[in-house]
Protein backbone atom coordinates (compact mmCIF):
# COMPACT_ATOMS: atom_id res chain seq x y z
CA UNK A 1 0.00 0.00 0.00
CA UNK A 2 1.37 3.42 -0.97
CA UNK A 3 1.28 6.40 1.35
CA UNK A 4 0.72 9.95 0.11
CA UNK A 5 3.14 12.83 -0.40
CA UNK A 6 1.15 15.99 -1.20
CA UNK A 7 3.89 18.53 -1.73
CA UNK A 8 3.24 22.22 -0.97
CA UNK A 9 3.61 24.62 -3.88
CA UNK A 10 6.60 26.17 -2.09
CA UNK A 11 8.49 22.89 -2.76
CA UNK A 12 8.26 23.46 -6.53
CA UNK A 13 11.38 25.24 -7.78
CA UNK A 14 13.18 26.26 -10.96
CA UNK A 15 9.94 26.36 -12.91
CA UNK A 16 9.69 27.02 -16.61
CA UNK A 17 6.54 27.85 -18.56
CA UNK A 18 6.08 28.45 -22.28
CA UNK A 19 2.79 29.14 -24.05
CA UNK A 20 2.55 29.52 -27.85
CA UNK A 21 -0.18 29.61 -30.47
CA UNK A 22 0.27 26.75 -32.95
CA UNK A 23 -1.75 24.42 -35.19
CA UNK A 24 -2.87 20.83 -34.64
CA UNK A 25 -1.98 18.21 -37.25
CA UNK A 26 -5.43 18.76 -38.81
CA UNK A 27 -4.64 22.50 -39.26
CA UNK A 28 -6.92 23.74 -36.47
CA UNK A 29 -5.46 26.43 -34.17
CA UNK A 30 -4.28 25.33 -30.73
CA UNK A 31 -2.36 26.53 -27.68
CA UNK A 32 0.77 24.59 -26.75
CA UNK A 33 1.90 24.91 -23.13
CA UNK A 34 5.03 23.44 -21.59
CA UNK A 35 5.64 23.27 -17.82
CA UNK A 36 8.98 22.20 -16.34
CA UNK A 37 10.41 22.24 -12.85
CA UNK A 38 11.90 20.51 -9.82
CA UNK A 39 9.98 19.40 -6.72
CA UNK A 40 11.78 19.04 -3.39
CA UNK A 41 10.38 15.70 -2.16
CA UNK A 42 12.77 14.39 0.56
CA UNK A 43 11.48 10.81 0.55
CA UNK A 44 13.33 7.65 1.34
CA UNK A 45 13.90 4.42 3.14
CA UNK A 46 16.90 2.49 4.36
CA UNK A 47 14.96 -0.76 4.43
CA UNK A 48 15.30 -3.75 2.12
CA UNK A 49 11.68 -3.67 0.92
CA UNK A 50 10.55 -1.78 -2.16
CA UNK A 51 8.47 1.21 -0.99
CA UNK A 52 5.85 3.16 -2.97
CA UNK A 53 4.74 6.74 -2.31
CA UNK A 54 1.88 8.39 -4.19
CA UNK A 55 2.58 12.07 -4.78
CA UNK A 56 0.70 15.21 -5.85
CA UNK A 57 1.84 18.74 -6.68
CA UNK A 58 0.57 21.92 -8.29
CA UNK A 59 2.13 22.98 -11.62
CA UNK A 60 2.96 26.68 -11.22
CA UNK A 61 3.78 28.95 -14.14
CA UNK A 62 6.25 30.84 -11.95
CA UNK A 63 6.99 30.89 -8.22
CA UNK A 64 3.69 30.07 -6.49
CA UNK A 65 1.48 31.36 -9.33
CA UNK A 66 -1.01 28.87 -10.88
CA UNK A 67 -3.59 29.24 -13.64
CA UNK A 68 -7.30 28.85 -12.99
CA UNK A 69 -8.89 26.85 -15.84
CA UNK A 70 -12.62 27.12 -16.62
CA UNK A 71 -14.99 24.19 -17.20
CA UNK A 72 -14.98 22.97 -20.78
CA UNK A 73 -11.24 23.60 -21.31
CA UNK A 74 -9.58 20.17 -21.39
CA UNK A 75 -6.11 19.45 -22.78
CA UNK A 76 -4.26 16.66 -24.50
CA UNK A 77 -1.38 15.85 -22.12
CA UNK A 78 2.10 14.31 -22.24
CA UNK A 79 4.05 13.90 -18.96
CA UNK A 80 7.63 12.96 -18.08
CA UNK A 81 8.70 12.74 -14.41
CA UNK A 82 11.75 11.28 -12.69
CA UNK A 83 13.56 11.05 -9.36
CA UNK A 84 16.72 13.07 -10.00
CA UNK A 85 18.75 13.94 -6.91
CA UNK A 86 19.19 10.74 -4.92
CA UNK A 87 21.49 9.21 -2.30
CA UNK A 88 21.73 5.45 -1.95
CA UNK A 89 22.92 3.08 0.74
CA UNK A 90 26.46 1.92 0.08
CA UNK A 91 26.88 -1.76 -0.78
CA UNK A 92 23.14 -2.27 -1.23
CA UNK A 93 21.07 -2.95 -4.32
CA UNK A 94 19.25 0.28 -5.17
CA UNK A 95 15.94 0.60 -6.97
CA UNK A 96 14.24 3.90 -7.73
CA UNK A 97 12.00 5.55 -10.27
CA UNK A 98 8.63 7.06 -11.01
CA UNK A 99 6.12 4.24 -11.60
CA UNK A 100 3.65 6.57 -13.34
CA UNK A 101 2.72 10.25 -13.61
CA UNK A 102 -0.44 12.01 -14.81
CA UNK A 103 -1.66 15.60 -15.04
CA UNK A 104 -5.31 16.53 -14.66
CA UNK A 105 -7.43 19.60 -14.03
CA UNK A 106 -8.83 19.26 -10.51
CA UNK A 107 -11.05 21.54 -8.41
CA UNK A 108 -9.09 22.87 -5.45
CA UNK A 109 -10.30 24.14 -2.07
CA UNK A 110 -8.81 27.62 -2.39
CA UNK A 111 -10.25 30.94 -1.17
CA UNK A 112 -10.88 32.52 -4.60
CA UNK A 113 -14.44 33.69 -3.93
CA UNK A 114 -15.84 32.19 -7.15
CA UNK A 115 -16.08 28.52 -6.16
CA UNK A 116 -13.30 25.96 -6.30
CA UNK A 117 -10.87 26.79 -9.12
CA UNK A 118 -9.67 24.04 -11.49
CA UNK A 119 -5.87 23.84 -11.42
CA UNK A 120 -3.31 21.56 -13.07
CA UNK A 121 -2.21 18.84 -10.65
CA UNK A 122 0.67 16.42 -11.22
CA UNK A 123 0.04 13.02 -9.59
CA UNK A 124 2.11 9.87 -9.66
CA UNK A 125 3.93 7.19 -7.71
CA UNK A 126 7.57 6.81 -6.66
CA UNK A 127 9.11 3.41 -6.15
CA UNK A 128 12.36 3.14 -4.16
CA UNK A 129 14.51 0.79 -2.10
CA UNK A 130 17.66 1.61 -0.09
CA UNK A 131 17.41 5.22 -1.25
CA UNK A 132 16.73 8.80 -0.21
CA UNK A 133 15.31 11.06 -2.97
CA UNK A 134 15.80 14.80 -2.56
CA UNK A 135 14.25 16.11 -5.79
CA UNK A 136 12.17 15.01 -8.74
CA UNK A 137 11.77 16.68 -12.11
CA UNK A 138 8.79 17.05 -14.42
CA UNK A 139 8.15 18.09 -18.00
CA UNK A 140 4.50 18.48 -18.98
CA UNK A 141 3.28 19.34 -22.47
CA UNK A 142 -0.35 20.35 -23.01
CA UNK A 143 -2.28 21.03 -26.20
CA UNK A 144 -5.51 23.04 -25.84
CA UNK A 145 -8.17 24.51 -28.05
CA UNK A 146 -7.76 28.32 -28.13
CA UNK A 147 -9.28 30.13 -25.13
CA UNK A 148 -9.25 33.55 -23.52
CA UNK A 149 -6.43 34.53 -21.15
CA UNK A 150 -6.91 32.70 -17.86
CA UNK A 151 -6.88 34.20 -14.36
CA UNK A 152 -3.85 33.56 -12.15
CA UNK A 153 -3.86 32.67 -8.45
CA UNK A 154 -0.84 33.44 -6.24
CA UNK A 155 -0.85 30.72 -3.56
CA UNK A 156 0.86 30.85 -0.16
CA UNK A 157 3.97 28.57 -0.21
CA UNK A 158 2.46 26.02 2.23
CA UNK A 159 -0.68 25.22 0.17
CA UNK A 160 -0.96 21.58 -0.93
CA UNK A 161 -3.23 20.08 -3.60
CA UNK A 162 -6.52 18.66 -2.27
**pLDDT tens per residue across span 31-70:** 999 999 999 888 776 667 788 889 999 999 999 999 998 8
| 124 closest CA partner among 113, 114, 136, 112 | 136
pTM: predicted TM-score of the whole model, two decimal places: 0.88
Which phi and psi angles does 90 have, rounded to 5°?
Answer: -65, 145
| Residue 117 near residue 68 (C-beta atoms within 8 A) | yes
CB 38 within 8 A of CB 82: no
Write down the domain spans for the chain: 3-147
pLDDT given at position 147: 82
Q: Would the pLDDT of 1 be above 60? A: no
Mean pLDDT of 4-29: 93
Nearest-angstrom CA–CA distance, 162 and 111: 13
- Res. 91: pLDDT tops 70: no
Q: Which of the residue ranges 55-64, 72-81, 108-117, 119-128 would you say has the lowest mean pLDDT? A: 108-117
Contact criterion met (CB below 8 Å) for 88 and 115: no
Closest CA to 38 of 154, 156, 146, 139: 139
Q: Which residues on neighbouring strands pair with residue 12, listed in sequence order?
A: 39
Q: What residues form DSSP beta bridges with 77?
A: 142
Amino acid sequence: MASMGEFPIGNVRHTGHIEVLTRRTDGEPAILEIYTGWINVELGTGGPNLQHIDFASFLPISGTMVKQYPEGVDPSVAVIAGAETVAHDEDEAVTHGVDFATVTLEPQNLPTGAGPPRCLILRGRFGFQHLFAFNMTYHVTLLWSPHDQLPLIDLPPGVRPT
